[in-house]
Structure 1
Amino acid sequence: MYLGLEDVFAISGFPIDGSRPIVCEDIDTKKICVDMLGTYDEEGKMKMKVSKRWLKDTFEAVPENISEDVIAHYVRGYLMYLIGTKILPNCDLPTHYPVYWLKFLKDLSPSKLIDVVWGAAALAMLHTSLGSDKRKNVKGPIRILNVFFKFRI
């Protein structure tokens, strides 16, 4: 079985074309976290990654009466969690997410978020996990396929 970009779009609804491809580049983890999330986890740090646990602990409960700027931090934290668990689940390292995703969440307007090619990135993640699987961990690719079939935007 082979899934192509049109299949990903038909099954999941994730954008497969746009002007903003998801490309990794070396960035200062602390700086982008402070700029986009308002805080940074000094303890469980990995280069260019944030911990799933830290995101959950920091951004799960939104305090009352906060400013619009601070709400944006909580929205980005939640979107990072959604991307890592639903759109681009990494079967090799499911407890940490790449911090470079934050650069695609700078502008939270729907037109900017939809312009990112999440579907192409999800397909690449699927093919990468299928290629690196070697029959050791069959749950990884199956987990990504389940995302395609259960999660529609």
Structure 2
Amino acid sequence: MGDDSERLYRLDEVAHITGSSTTSPSDASRACSGSRACDSMSDEPLVSAFVERWRPKTHTFHMSFRECTITLQDVAYQLGLPVDGRYVSGCLTDFQKLLGVSPPANQIQKFAVNCTWFHETFGECPAGADEETVRHFARAYIMLLLGTQLFADKFDNRIHIRWLPYVVRLEEMCGYSWGSAALAWLYRCMCRVANRHVVKLAGPLQLLQSWIFWRFSGFRPAGYDEFSWPLASRWSGHNPSGSEKGPRVQMWKLRIDMLQLRDLSGGPSGCASEGVGASSYGLMAVCDGTDIFCHRIVASD
């Protein structure tokens, strides 16, 4: 079956944490051009303080009142990613065929390509480009999203070519369980950084931070009361303080130490596997069909 053009460009119905997906690939790629630019919303001291509570053996945050963790349900609601479907398992394929050009040898590091090459090569789709060229740019844009938002590594400056097979048929990408892959990658990154010799955290930190804000309302920044879909987009304008990180990490660690069960908000989902389901997220309406996330409006807690 060939690519369905109506499905291929139907992006307006889904928003991601960088903003509305009506943003052009060239605009979005420029927005991601800096080191960890797509994760600029991350409050590093807060995230670091929580990661210190992570226990690799149980894949949970060890809190003073109980253990908590991020679940597939959280990924689905926070990032709007599918958690059902085919599993994501990377393999290699032809770069030249899918993107129309291959990176030079000095832009390749083992099985990864420097982000700078993507930005320079696919920064702006030329006016009047034919359909095949548009597909090349769309594939490059999606690879940037995967490599800089969901599956970023600690180097922050390269895109792994394992994602090439998934952009072959763009209309089939929604058939993969990207949510479970993103959660597994976040777990793996937090387990790695739990080692005292690893100091830099990678992975979808926007998921971790949004989960913290959702579950612990006392940690939320002021002025972000309007809900949107997916839920992590609520914090897209958050600009953490640029003050010295060391004292802020200590401040967050102290506040986490003082947390009690009553400080947990948004329902008990994510703690001891209780309260699963849409009701724990306070959704006003949810469908039981294939697309259970059919309503974007959610109630405040």
**TM-score, normalising length: structure 1:** 0.82
**SS in structure 2 at match of 1:140:** coil
Could you tell me which residue of structure 1 aligns to residue 118 of structure 2?
A: 55
User: Which secondary structure does the structure 2 equivalent of 1:41 belong to?
Assistant: coil
Residue in 1 that maps onto 2:77: 10
1:10-58: CA deviation from partner (whole Å, max 9, x where unpaired) = 2211111102x21123x35xxx210111111112112321211111111
Pick from 84, 90, 98: which aligns with 1:24?
90
Q: How far apart are 1:130 and its partner, in Å?
A: 0.4
Indicate if the aligned counterparts of 1:86 and 1:147 stay in contact, CA closer than 8 A: no
Rounded Cα–Cα distance in structure 1 between residues aligned with 2:210 and 2:136: 25
User: Aligned AA for 1:105?
Assistant: V
Q: CA deviation at 1:140?
A: 3.3
Mark the CA change 1:146 to 1:36 in structure 2 (over 3 Å): closer, same or farther.
Answer: farther
Change (3 A) 1:62 1:12: same
1:127 alignment partner in structure 2: 187
Q: Say if 2:178 is the partner of 1:118.
A: yes
Mapping 1:51-130, distance limit 5 Å:
51-90=114-153, 92-109=154-171, 112-130=172-190
Post-superposition Cα deviations, 1:54-107, rounded to whole Å, max 9, x if no partner, equal 1111101111111101110000111111111222222x2321121121101111
| Paired residue secondary structure (1:97) | strand
Indicate if the aligned counterparts of 2:151 and 2:182 stay in contact, CA closer than 8 A.
yes
Partner SS for 1:50 = strand
Asked if structure 2 preserves the Cα contact closer than 8 Å seen for 1:86 and 1:151, the reply is no
Alpha-carbon spacing, 1:72–1:146, altered in 2? closer, same or farther (3 Å)? farther
Higher-RCO chain (CA-CA 8 Å, sequence separation at least 6): 1
Q: Which has the larger radius of gyration?
A: 2
Alignment gaps of 5+ in structure 1: none
Q: Calculate the aligned-residue CA RMSD, in Å.
A: 2.3
Q: Alignment partner for residue 34 of structure 1, among 88, 92, 96?
A: 96
Q: Secondary structure of 1:7's match?
A: helix
**CA, structure 1 residues 70+105, in 2 after alignment: closer, same or farther (shift >3 Å)?**
same
Aligned match of 2:259 = none
Cα gap change, 1:132/1:35 in structure 2, threshold over 3 Å: closer, same or farther? same
AA matched with 1:113: M
Query: 2:204 & 2:129 partners in 1: Cα distance?
Result: 40
CA separation of 1:35/1:50 partners in 2, compared to 1, >3 Å: closer, same or farther? same
Q: CA deviation at 1:137?
A: 2.9
- Note the residue ranges of structure 2 that are not aligned, 5 or more in a row: 1-67, 212-230, 235-301
CA deviations 1:111-133 (Å, max 9, x no partner) are: x1211211111101100110000
